[in-house]
Structure 1
Amino acid sequence: ARNIVVINDEAHHAWRVPPQSKIKGVAKDEIDEATKWLGGCDRIHQARGILSCFDFSATPFTPSVRKSRGETLFNWIISDFGLNDAIESGLVKTPRFVIRDDGKLTKEYKNRFYHIYKDSEVKENLGRKATPEEPLPDLVINGYYLLGKDWLETAKAWKKAGFSTPPVMITVANRTETSARIKYAFDRHQINIDELCDSELTLQVDSKVLNAADSQESDNAIKSKLSKSDRSSITSVKRKISKKEQGEFLRQIVDTVGQVGKPGERIQQVISVGMLSEGWDAKTVTHIMGLRAFSSQLLCEQVVGRGLRRTAYEVNPETGLLDPEYVNIFGVPFSFLPHESGEDIPPPPPTPKTEIKPVYEKKEYEIKWPNIIRIDRVSSSVLKLAIERLETLELNAKELTVLTALAPDVSQISFIDWEILDNRFRLQKIIFETAREIFHRLLPNWKGKKESLLSQLIVLVEAFINSDKIKINPSFLAEDELKRRTIIGLNMTKIYQYLLPAFFIESQQSSVPIFDRDRPILSTTDLPIWYASKTCQYTQKSHINYCTLDGPWEGSPGWELDRNPNVKAWAKSDRLGFEIFYIFKGVVCKYRPDYLIKLSNGSFLILETKERDSDRDIIKRNYLDEWVKTVNQYRGFGQWQRAVSRKAADLSQILAQASLTINN
């Protein structure tokens, strides 16, 4: 063959320099490697003739430590189709920051996720030698949790859509010790996303291991460069291999992530030190976590680029365009985010929506309820707390190490950032942690189910913490609920030792509610902010700012609930999370009643608005009756009842009757 056309992919690895030249920041062996291919092209040209040689590169310049690239750009550049163009045209995925989460994040907290490694606490923590057992910084744990929650939603959607391989989350870490700590944290479920904590589906990759495989070193040499976690990553894939194959097989796993029928098919998380190889063609990367320094946008592009390859290139017949695909990013300060529209005309205004959220100033209208996932009928042991036998527990702020470290005397406690401490000592966390410690001491003598013991402990501990048995000194700290809660959180061991002797166990037959392990008690405060397109009306007696309407306000239950003297607080059960599980035709379903009402006498009413009943409605109500009966027998959550409103006119009578029923 003659008159050959040569295409050099990743051409920044093949460039010509004068013999014996030196380039600052580039090793001699890299220069030698870069010139070898061009030397080969010279010989091919002499023998056969090369018509043209086209270089393709995302980084068309000589590698250098210089911050300015102007002097090192290849001078034969004739066309530029940059990353922005690729994103806007849909040829690659669109990078974006994840916004789905379960908690309330301040603006400052979001900024910390933008470049996690830059945070002073994280940089110092991850920038040092450490053993795998050392815990990761809270910011990193929280970042993985939020990104992992979004990954989990994606995994569920992919599985439902029939994808045979899972979405992949990749981490680019700064050093080997950091990658080992990350894998250790996932293997031991320290990041509370169980589906991501399967060690068999997590691959920890270190550049030293891949280099050993690529250089075809001996089996023993490769084996010596594999850390324990590296070896477990290889052997976790269910295929028996000899030691001789291990180095090459690791490379195969890395190179075939997301490919059906290949060694990397089932991998759903890759933890990498340094950069994954250029040309890595995994199409299933949907989430990226950056835990290293990013001194330039080039580094950001290189990391983000590992997740930009699309899963499909089929054109949508309705639009004539590729459907958008996304990769969600934490910790990579990537700033080349394009707008979604290529139109020159302004986009149409969005449909007006109302922000629905709990209002801090209306905290007095908060409603709490037990988060029950099922009800077991068992011969159970009942836990009792002889709270009347307990003397008042005095908690002295002067004795707290954290406070004295932050202020020279108690009078200056006001300088402490209580809001930051409050993130560590939320009431439900204090209750759960205290109950968990007592749980392990009482378990040997407990005859019933473990879940029952824990759920009863949670109720009793909460009752104690909210009682007048705790005295805070100095007293002015107790006047502020946030400060009181923080002081209690800093004395959990003392509370645990104080409460333990006062517990005793009785046996009886009962229906036992099984609470959600992570969130045993829910509240209107937990409502995530959402936006309603329906007509809304501002509420008076509800912790939630607006109520969505299906008709005129004057004819809605909300109008009557706001003005009725028997109602102390109410909330429409719209995305509140108040759910009752029931079985209909063999399928487990969720029942979400229409309204939660706290009556003026302190009891609770679950209200449903329904003109006529279907078979499903009757089944729902049977399960609701069981829920109400169980909660009332269990105690600790107040008295509950339920009612059905067939029309707006009967609601006033229902509320009056409900108040009388509880009073009687």
Structure 2
Amino acid sequence: MHKSAFQLLLSGRTRTQKVHCIRYRAWIDAGIRRWREYKEALKPLSKKPVLFFQCPENKEADEIFRYVNSAVPDLKDKVLLIHTDSTGEVKKADLPKAREFAKTIDDPDPDKNPYEAIVSTLMLNEGWDVRNVNVIVGLRSYTSKRKVLPEQVIGRGLRKMFPEEDANIKKSINVLEVIGPPGLIDILEELEYQEGIKIAEFDTGKPLELTTIFVDKNKLDKDIEIPILSPRISIGEFFIDQTEVDNLPSLKIPLENRVLEMEYIAIDMLKGMEVIKRKWNLPVPQDSKSVIAYYSYQILKQLSIGGAFASFHPIVKRYVIEKLFTNKVDIEDPRVLYKLSSIEVQEKLISLFVNALRDKTFIKREPIRKSTIKLSKTSAFVWSKLVYPANKCIFNYVPCDSNYEVDFAKFLDNAGDVEAFTNIVVKNGFYIEYISEENHLRFYYPDFVVKLKNGDYWIIETKGLVDLEVPHKDKRATQWCKDTTSLTGENWSYMRVNQE
């Protein structure tokens, strides 16, 4: 969200005039210029930026509407006028068209939704929820005679145009720009105070830096088709036979006649003297059954299994009674409760079950070839990170997450044996499923896909920091390449390139 740069440029008082479009002309024109920049920047994304004019009263809204709709050529017949009552609710007569506008905002057919600007009063409280408001031009006087809450000024403009992206002020992604007279700036400053935030300012003379990644029609020869295989790993229905538990080894935990205690010592720091020393029995759960239930829950949680507690808990209970200790035990024995309450026993018991049942969580099947993903079919998307303009990439830029990826993109672009490549992002739709370090099914998005001039393909991971997930991803990507080679007859290989 940006605060108006006109706080500095146009901070003098404006003489009240009957013609509001003249009184507020500077802010109106500034908003229109900014809206035009967004329109040009968002054109490859097929997104329609919306310009919102917030007027003092319905009669002033009518006047602003007539001016914008007639005097601004690229907004002629593209301005929607919505009247509101004193509470900010859309008047019933205007509600149907307001809702239709919000529903069809991105429809490319101008006959269904020709509007690109809205003129109204206050902010619309109900019946209107549209994501594409990029610029609000606040034309109210915002005087104390009619108190306007800060959240009413911002209102419905705070809907992300790109819900999957974080806001990025520098790149103008999911940013709401507010332009208006000094009274509006006072309200935004009040919002800063109330919420403990800082609203960024912007210079309307500085061009947008919004980066859009799209398929370059002049580089269609750099297209790559990535085979899509059926999952080798999927989550299956959990079932455990009692005989499998019978085969689990005993942990041979000895029972001991011990009472866990906690010692509390208070020392006078000035005198260096011990002034209080007491011991208490540690608080423990009321019975062993509750501890076993807790362990059962923790085992299922680590195995990522839901809805199996009722059938699994009795199995764990039986193991504790018959096999956890050196001898069969009575679950009501207080020594059992004390031992079950220890961290050591907790870790051993949970690890035993998790390691033994880990493979029960998933179903593994030989994959089949289902389809392909062509990079040329990727829809345009915004990118807030680094880019590199490569000749061998089908996109206008190679999207990169780090300087190391930029350097590697440069290397691939200059490599004599490389025909085409790109950095893989979520928008491409390609991923490989794998089992994580914590035994969860996760999706792995490799960094680069590369096509060589000899027809071979490479999946390449560039890695700065090698964490616990990396070996699992390496193993799964290597298997994916073997499966793909077998099913397609093309040579696919995997490589990880660590940053030195």
Q: Shorter-chain-normalised TM-score: which range?
A: 0.3 to 0.5
- Ranked by relative contact order (alpha carbons within 8 Å, sequence separation 6 or more), the top structure is 2
Q: TM-score scaled to structure 1, two decimals?
A: 0.29
| Richer in helix (by share) | 1
